[in-house]
Structure 1
Amino acid sequence: MSARTFVKSLAAALLITGSALAQDVPAGTKLVVADQSELIRNLLEASGQRDAITSDLELPNFAGGPAILEAMRAGALDIAYVGDTPPIQARASGMLLPIIATVTREKSEYRLVARPGLAIDDLADLRGKRVSYIEGSGRQAFLIEALNRAGLTLEDVTLVPLRVTDLPDALRTQSVDVAVLQEPHVTRLTHQIGASAVSDPRERELLPGTWYIYARPEALADPAKHAAIGEFLTATIRAAGWSNENREEWGKEYYTDFQRIPASDTEAILASQSLMEFETSAEGIPHHQRLIDILAQAGELPERFDAEGSFSADFDPVIEAAR
C-alpha cells in the first residue's frame, strides 16, 4: 500500500460527525475491547467505573499484540489496549488502526537484567552479548534504544528470539546473557539466582512506559460504537486516576488478590511504576515518532513514516475532560 493510499484511507475512516462528548450510547450497543492480563477489566471493577459504562462491553483477554492484530483483521474487536510497538507494526503491514489514546508512565517498567556472574556497568558492555529479542514488542524498542545510547547496533549483539514467558528461565539457564524484564521478575531473579540489573544510569532514562488504545476504522465510523468508545475512555481514564491515588489498594486487588502473587512482589511492581497518565493525540505524537524512528533506523521497518498519520484526534476532548 502506498503512503498516499494509506493517508486517504485513514482520512476517510476518521470522517465522523459530531463531538465525542455530545454522543449518547444507544441502547444495546456492543463494544468489544481487547484486554491484556485482564488489566482493564480489573481496573474498571476495582475503581467502580465499570458501572458507568452503559454499552454491552466485552473484554476478551489476549496474550500480546500479534494475537490482537489478527483479531482486528478478522473484525472481532472494536478497540484494543496494546504496547508501544504493535500500532507501528500494524501500520507498516498496511493495517489501518488509528491510535485514539496514549497511556504513558514517566519511566519504563522494562529493565535490562544480566545473568548471574555477569555485571553490566555500562551500556557499551552489551557488545558481543547474547540478548533476548522479542520482535514487535515494547522490549524490542527498549533494547534498540539501549544499544543506540552506547553507539551500538543490533549487529553488535547476538539476538536470541524468545517468548515473554521464556525470559526468566533463559536467565536461569544462562542461555542468554541479558534479558529485557519487568517486575516482579527483576527482583525475584536478583534474590533467587544472583541476576543483576544493568547499573548504567542511562538505562533508567531510555524511554517512558507507553501503551496505546487503537481502533478498527469500521468501529470509529459506526456512530453507536463511536459513542460507546467515548464512554469507555472516560471510565478508563477515571479508573486510572483512581489507581494513581489508591496505589496500595489497587496493588492488593490486582496483583496480590487477582494474580495471586506475594505481597513482596506487589511492592516491587508498584515501586517500579510511575503514575499512569492519558495523553491526547497532539501530546502522544512526538514520542510515537521517536519510536518509529528507533525501529526504522535499526532496519526493523520497511520504511520510516510520519507518526501524525497514525492518530485520530477525535477523542481528544474526552481525554481532556476526563483526566
Structure 2
Amino acid sequence: MKRRTLLQAVGIGIIASTSVGRAFAAETTKLVVADQSEFVRNLLDASGERKSLNLSVEFPNFAGGPAILEAMRAGALDIAFVGDTPPIQARASGTLLPIIGTFTRDISEYHLTSRPGLVINKLSELKGKKVSYVEGSGRQVFLIEALNRAGLKLSDVELLNLRVADLPDALRSSAVDVAVLQEPFVTRLAKQAGASPVLDPEERRLLPSTSYFYARPEVLTDPKKVEAIKAFLTAFVRAGKWSNEHREEWAKFYYAGFQHVTPEDADAILKGQSPLVFPTSAEAIPHHQKLIDILYQAGSIKERFDANSSFVGIFDQTIEQARQGSS
C-alpha cells in the first residue's frame, strides 16, 4: 500500500472515530499485540499499567521479526513489538506496515559475542569468521554496521542464517564464531561456557537500541481499534518511564523473576542498559532512514526507501502526553 493510500485510510478511521466520539469505548475492543521475550506483557504487569487498561489485550509471544511478519500478513495480529529491521524488511518484501510508536535506548541491547575459546579485541578481527546472520531481525543491521566500522563487508565473513532461538546453542557448541545476542544470554554464556563479548569499545557505540510498534493497516481504519491503541501506547510509555525510575524493581520482576537470571546477573544487565526513550514519529524518522541506508548500501534491500512513508503520526500526541506525565 502506498503512503498516500495508507494515510487516506488512516484519515477515514480518524474521522469516523471523531464523528462517533466515545461511543466506541476502548474497553469494548480486543487488541492482539505481538510480543517478544514476553517483554511488553511483563513491563505492563510489573508497572501496574496493565490493570489501568480498560480493554482486553492478548500477547502472543514470538521469536523474532520474520515470524511476526507472517502472522501479521495472516491477519492474526493488530500491532506488534519488533526490532529496528523488521519494518524495513517487511516493506522490502512488498508489505508496508506503518510504524505507530518508537522506543529507544542510547546504547544497544545487542552484543557481538564470541564463542568459548575465542577472544575478539577489534571489530576488524571479524574477518573470515563464521557469524550468525538473522535476516529480518535487528541483529542484521547491527552486524552490518559493525562490519562497516571495521572496513569490512558481508562478503568478508562466513554468514550462517539462523533462527533467533538457536543462537545461544550455536555459540555454545562453536557452530558459529560470533553471534549477535541479547541479555540474559550474553551473561549466561560468559559464565557457563566461557563465551565473551567482543572487546572493541566501538562495539558499544555502533547503533542505539531501537524498537517499534507497527500496525496492520486495516486496524488503523477501525475507530475502536484506534482508541484501543491510544490507550495501549499510553500505558506502555508510562510503564517504560516506571522501569527507568524503578530499575532494581524491574530487574527483580523481569530478569530474576521471569527469566530466572541470578540477582548478580540481573545487576550486570542493568549496568549495561540505558533508559528507555519515547520519540515521536518526526523525531524517529532520521534514525530510521539511517537504518534503511545501511541495509541498502550493504545490498540487503534492493530499494532505498524514504523513511517518512514508513510512519504515521496519528499517535504522536498520545505519546507526547504520556511521556510528559499527562493524559
Q: What's the TM-score, normalizing by structure 1?
A: 0.93
Query: Are residue 188 (structure 1) and residue 188 (structure 2) matched?
Result: yes
Q: Amino acid of the residue matched to residue 280 of structure 1?
A: T
After superposition, the Cα gap between the structure-2 partners of 1:192 and 1:55, relative to the gap in structure 1 and judged at 3 Å, is closer
> 2:126: which partner in 1?
126
Q: Could you give the per-residue CA deviations for residues 8-29 of structure 1, whole angstroms, max 9, x where no partner exists?
A: 3322232243699996452522
Of 26-35 and 187-196, deviating more is 187-196
Q: What is the rounded CA distance, in whole Å, between the counterparts of 1:35 and 1:8 in structure 2?
A: 29
Q: What is the rounded CA distance, in whole Å, between the counterparts of 1:58 and 1:231 in structure 2?
A: 14
Query: Are residue 206 (structure 1) and residue 203 (structure 2) matched?
Result: no
Say which of 13, 31, 47 aligns to 2:9. Answer: 13
> 1:90: which partner in 2?
90
> 2:288: which partner in 1?
288
Q: What is the rounded CA distance, in whole Å, between the counterparts of 1:28 and 1:184 in structure 2?
A: 37
- Cα pair 2:63 2:165 within 8 Å, conserved: no
Q: What is the rounded CA distance, in whole Å, between the counterparts of 2:150 and 2:51 in structure 1?
A: 49
Query: Are residue 219 (structure 1) and residue 205 (structure 2) matched?
Result: no
Of 56-65 and 5-14, deviating more is 5-14
Q: Which runs of 5+ in 1 are unaligned?
A: none
CA-based RMSD of the aligned residues comes to 2.0
- Cα pair 1:184 1:268 within 8 Å, conserved: no
> 2:257: which partner in 1?
257
> 2:146: which partner in 1?
146
Q: What is the rounded CA distance, in whole Å, between the counterparts of 2:298 and 2:18 in structure 1?
A: 40
User: Helix, strand or coil: the match of 2:240?
Assistant: helix
Q: What is the rounded CA distance, in whole Å, between the counterparts of 1:126 and 1:49 in structure 2?
A: 43
Query: Are residue 99 (structure 1) and residue 99 (structure 2) matched?
Result: yes
After superposition, the Cα gap between the structure-2 partners of 1:142 and 1:255, relative to the gap in structure 1 and judged at 3 Å, is same
Q: What is the rounded CA distance, in whole Å, between the counterparts of 1:216 and 1:82 in structure 2?
A: 13
Q: Amino acid of the residue matched to residue 4 of structure 2?
A: K
- Cα pair 2:66 2:137 within 8 Å, conserved: no
- Cα pair 2:7 2:312 within 8 Å, conserved: no
Alignment of 1:1-323 (within 5 A): 6-15=2-11, 16-17=13-14, 24=22, 26=25, 27-323=27-323
After superposition, the Cα gap between the structure-2 partners of 1:142 and 1:21, relative to the gap in structure 1 and judged at 3 Å, is farther
Q: What is the rounded CA distance, in whole Å, between the counterparts of 2:274 and 2:16 in structure 1?
A: 32
Q: What is the rounded CA distance, in whole Å, between the counterparts of 1:68 and 1:168 in structure 2?
A: 21
After superposition, the Cα gap between the structure-2 partners of 1:38 and 1:188, relative to the gap in structure 1 and judged at 3 Å, is closer
- Cα pair 2:64 2:164 within 8 Å, conserved: no
Give the C-alpha shift of residue 178 in structure 1. Answer: 1.4
User: Helix, strand or coil: the match of 1:51?
Assistant: helix
User: Helix, strand or coil: the match of 1:14?
Assistant: helix
Give the C-alpha shift of residue 259 in structure 1. Answer: 2.3
Q: What is the rounded CA distance, in whole Å, between the counterparts of 2:64 and 2:18 in structure 1?
A: 31
Of 40-49 and 164-173, deviating more is 164-173
Q: What is the rounded CA distance, in whole Å, between the counterparts of 1:106 and 1:196 in structure 2?
A: 22
Q: Could you give the per-residue CA deviations for residues 188-233 of structure 1, whole angstroms, max 9, x where no partner exists?
A: 3223333222221111100000100011111111111101110110
- Cα pair 1:20 1:314 within 8 Å, conserved: no
Q: Which runs of 5+ in 2 are unaligned?
A: none
- Cα pair 1:256 1:262 within 8 Å, conserved: yes
- Cα pair 1:20 1:317 within 8 Å, conserved: no
- Cα pair 1:132 1:159 within 8 Å, conserved: yes
Give the C-alpha shift of residue 145 in structure 1. Answer: 0.2
- Cα pair 1:20 1:315 within 8 Å, conserved: no
Of 311-320 and 116-125, deviating more is 116-125
User: Helix, strand or coil: the match of 2:112?
Assistant: strand
After superposition, the Cα gap between the structure-2 partners of 1:195 and 1:20, relative to the gap in structure 1 and judged at 3 Å, is farther
Q: What is the rounded CA distance, in whole Å, between the counterparts of 1:72 and 1:165 in structure 2?
A: 20
Q: What is the rounded CA distance, in whole Å, between the counterparts of 1:129 and 1:227 in structure 2?
A: 49
User: Helix, strand or coil: the match of 1:304?
Assistant: coil
- Cα pair 2:230 2:315 within 8 Å, conserved: yes
Give the C-alpha shift of residue 154 in structure 1. Answer: 0.2
Q: Amino acid of the residue matched to residue 136 of structure 1?
A: G
Q: Amino acid of the residue matched to residue 178 of structure 1?
A: V
Give the C-alpha shift of residue 66 in structure 1. Answer: 1.6
Identity of aligned residues (%): 64
